[in-house]
Amino acid sequence: ILNVEQSPQSLHVQEGDSTNFTCSFPSSNFYALHWYRWETAKSPEALFVMTLNGDEKKKGRISATLNTKEGYSYLYIKGSQPEDSATYLCAFHSSNTGKLIFGQGTTLQVKP
Amino acid sequence: NAGVTQTPKFQVLKTGQSMTLQCAQDMNHEYMSWYRQDPGMGLRLIHYSVGAGITDQGEVPNGYNVSRSTTEDFPLRLLSAAPSQTSVYFCASSQPAPRDSPLHFGNGTRLTVT
């Protein structure tokens, strides 16, 4: 069983705060780690696909880091805005299966 | 460019009925998958396919069948619906297998089984 854990489960911040969440995954058989943004009543949209230990990716105010040896990834949002309110999902792709397994998500609420 | 199209958007079934959730993509993606989303459970993988003629089970395959006769289509069949299958179902695809490419999701099918 592939265990993908995200923390915290939910987060409330004020507009302008910076925040970060964690995704933990198995440190063996690593193939790829995905991050998605999921707004209410919409479909998940991809943020990053990360494949190499030490990878850092950035998209506007959102960035992510990857540590495959210890099995974690961080997602950072700098200067949160109300439109950043969404659920952020990570997904782990093991090298010995074709499965992309999702964590339970971190729900972010940004108050104006 | 339609992307990933799921039909229907909503469906109500009675226990024991059967139905097929349709998923089609026009991006020539080899990899397709079905997820279900339940409160507090995130997205759970039901079945996936790495190409036409090839399917495999995900985390929660029981009660569901799939086939992949063409690259474009990946239908999900419920043979005898149960209330536990009440959920929102998402189809997703990528090219190639999702090591370097993100998943593209359909808009979801909300299924209620009474």
pLDDT tens per residue across span B60-83: 999 999 999 999 999 999 999 999
Q: B33 and A100 in contact by Cβ < 8 A?
A: yes
pLDDT in tens, A9-35: 999 999 999 999 999 999 888 999 999
Q: Determine the Cα angle at B41 with ends A111 and A12, to 5°.
A: 15
Q: Has residue B96 got a pLDDT over 80?
A: no
Q: pLDDT-derived band of residue B100, with 50, 70 and 90 as boundaries?
A: confident
Phi and psi at B20, nearest 5°, equal -120, 130
Residues 6 or more apart from B73 whose CB is under 8 A from it?
B22, B23, B24
The two most distant CA atoms of chain A are separated, in Å, by 45
Task: Report the distance separating Cα A38 and Cα B111, nearest Å.
Answer: 20
Backbone angles phi, psi at A83, to 5 degrees: -70, -5
* Higher-pLDDT residue of A9, A95: A9
Tell me the pLDDT band of A96, cut-offs 50, 70 and 90.
confident
B42·A89 Cβ contact <8 A: yes
Name the pairing type of β-strands B10-13 and B109-113.
parallel
Q: Residue B24 is inside which H or E element, if any? A: strand B19-25
Contact B42/A32, CB-based, under 8 Å?
A: no
3 state DSSP class of B82: coil
Contact B39/B25 with Cβ under 8 angstroms? no
Write out pLDDT tens, residues A65-91.
Answer: 999 999 999 999 999 999 999 999 999
Q: Cβ contact (<8 Å) for A89 and B106?
A: no
Residue B47 has pLDDT above 80, yes or no: yes
**Residue B91 near residue A42, CB atoms below 8 Å:** no
Interface with A, mutate which of B45, B60, B95, B110 (most A CBs under 10 A)? B45
With contacts defined as CB-CB under 8 Å, which chain B residues touch A45? Answer: 105
Out of B31, B43, B59, the one facing A89 most closely (by C-beta) is B43
